[in-house]
Structure 1
């Protein structure tokens, strides 16, 4: 009911949602369990409309909102006097934007190493609690793989950790692995990179933090490709790749930290992705990876083209051009003349 009322107010122009770029969907609310974020302009009438919707929802549902535990986040252009007026109007005195939401920092201005320093602190707290226990090597291995690597996973699935932060986390895990009762630091008999190799390669199978980070971000990029109708995909598409697809997108000007992080996984996905042909109208013959091989590849070699076919070959751009009119059979006369037998 709350969502329906917010959407109705948005359609009627009573509440203006947040848009990060021209053409992006307007976001008036984000809901996660009992955590909610609402967006509107700093006009009194929009605040009053939002507050009336929240009051109506509270009366109908019996769920009261604790404004003392709520916070309000302002855009950079709002003056200090206006901020005070808005706080008085809404009854929310706490100013947000400087803490955490769903386990992630609300804002990423400034040094990323400093902002993400909480990952190191949380890991240190875990390790300090484990040191009092007598643990075998097998016990340490299980704790490192199942608990320690799980701590930064959510953050790594959203943002690319700086190399310094990855090194700090790896150093903490290495110290914990080699530490013993007699020596608080322990002798590091092998580098952590060696321990991060698979067991059949002589390592212990610990995840490499940087590579694991890229893999998690690759899942976000793949979700953009396979689920283009999601809110996340629509927002990023409008801002960064409105005329292309996520795999061909450029970093763009003034990219957000989130897009810069997801973009870092683009090359990884390209290595393992292959275009599914369908009708072939959107698949470029020469640039797209569409040949069925491991890994997938594009067309890189052709035969020496006979003189009488050169004009025809120059007009071939899409895979659909290699199909007969019924779209179900290849033009084998063209294929045999132009492409190698293996292709």
Structure 2
């Protein structure tokens, strides 16, 4: 409340990105606060006065040693010294880590995400000498290692190289020996990162998880009225509808990622009309997709709402601004729209309930493949992973039999089995089905 009252103070100059958007002077998360302000003397003094009032009323002190000020990288030395003197806080420069996530300006660099990568690598190094089985390693990868960057992927999209570094570490840990030495990787992480039903080892690719979270961002932008969604709509979509808006150079990386998947999301985002606040031309409320696609490519319809075109129980087609085809008119009139005071209801068509969830978004966006029913039976979730993973390796020819070693490494060695009395070529069929040990079992 004290910080919100600063907006009414004429001597306080706020920091804002767009005059038409929400005025934000602070963001809170638990006991952390980010304050936004201009760098002039009066504004900084009013902020410090407000913080002093909070200390006097609550009895809690602001830790100045853990606090810092961040200014533009081109700010003059006089302005920097003034901010440090008034706030009595140290200065920091981007990139910084805040609540486990890097805040940066400009290009996405691999070094910006080095803290998260290093935490994962250090965790893996501590497990190398634990004498873990393949099943134990898979549990640690699924439930510990892949969960460590999840909070980061929920808010931003690291470069592809960061994903490759982390996933290479996962694969190295899975195939390594108990002494931590490198061993042959019998399968790539791409082949393992499929569900059991698709013939994988039930791991997940970090890029697919990142896309699922980006889908959630677009869903919230289009269906919720949060402070974040209001800010983005004002900054990027004040004059253009989000469906037709495009990413431009200089705009944020998060907005770029959202624009890259919005077509797929919009095809599965429907609306149930109640109040009629959705866009007539751009929102998918007729199950035909956005209606602007039925117009000429050069047409630029306005953000007309359904309430503007549906008046007194009848459709006012001239108010639409463009000629609506007879096919669309007949389809809309068959819908029998009835407006009410309830908000329009968004529908996620992928789920039976119509509610959005991350699992459905991940399953929709990931690459899928069809696997043999034999693999599905062997890699059933009721079977211990150590046994199912061995069956998976056998089916995909990922074990060190003589014929595979000779073909992979071009070795000049005998392909025969050394355990049988009669010399026979050692291959997977011989080891598990035709050999003396296998037939007598």
**Shared fold, TM over 0.5:** yes
Matches of 2:98 and 2:63, distance apart in 1? 17
- 1:322 maps to 2:322: no
1:235 aligns with 2:231: yes
TM-score, normalised on structure 2?
A: 0.64
**Inter-partner Cα distance in structure 1 for 2:22 and 2:41:** 23
Where 1:146 maps in the other structure, the secondary structure is: helix
Q: Please name the residue that 1:210 is paired with.
A: 207
**Which structure would you say has the larger Rg?**
2
1:1-343 alignment to 2 at 5 Å? 4-181=1-178, 184-227=181-224, 229-278=225-274, 282=278, 284=280, 289-290=284-285, 292=287, 297=289, 314-316=323-325, 322-323=332-333, 327-328=337-338
Deviation at 1:206, TM superposition (A): 0.5
The SS at the match of 2:27 is strand
Counterpart-to-counterpart distance in 1, 2:3 and 2:27: 11
Q: Which moves more between the two structures, 9-18 or 63-72?
A: 9-18
**For 1:96-135, what per-residue CA distance to the aligned partner results, in whole angstroms no more than 9, with x for missing partners?**
5342111111223344222123232111011011112121
Assess, with a 3 A threshold, how the Cα gap between structure 1 residues 51 and 279 changes in structure 2: closer, same or farther. Answer: closer
Given that 1:28 and 1:40 are in contact with CA atoms closer than 8 Å, whether structure 2 keeps it comes out as yes
Distance 1:123 1:72, change over 3 A: same
Check the 8 A contact 1:197/1:203 in 2, yes or no.
Answer: yes
In structure 1, C-alpha distance between the alignment counterparts of 2:331 and 2:78, rounded to whole Å? 64
What is the TM-score normalised by the length of structure 1? 0.81
| Unaligned stretches of 5+ residues in structure 1 | 302-310, 329-343
- CA separation of 1:64/1:276 partners in 2, compared to 1, >3 Å: closer, same or farther? same
Does the 8 Å CA contact 2:97/2:103 hold for their aligned counterparts?
A: yes
| Deviation for aligned residue 1:240 | 0.8
**Cα distance in 2 for residues equivalent to 1:221 and 1:112:** 24
User: What is the CA deviation profile of residues 210-258 of structure 1, one whole-angstrom value per residue up to 9, with x for unaligned ones?
Assistant: 111100111111111121x211011101111113444443213421122
> Which ranges of structure 2 fall in alignment gaps of 5 or more residues?
295-316, 339-441
Residues 54-78 of structure 1, C-alpha deviations (whole Å, 9 max, x = no match) = 1111011000112122111112443
C-alpha change, 1:203 and 1:326, in structure 2 (3 Å) is closer
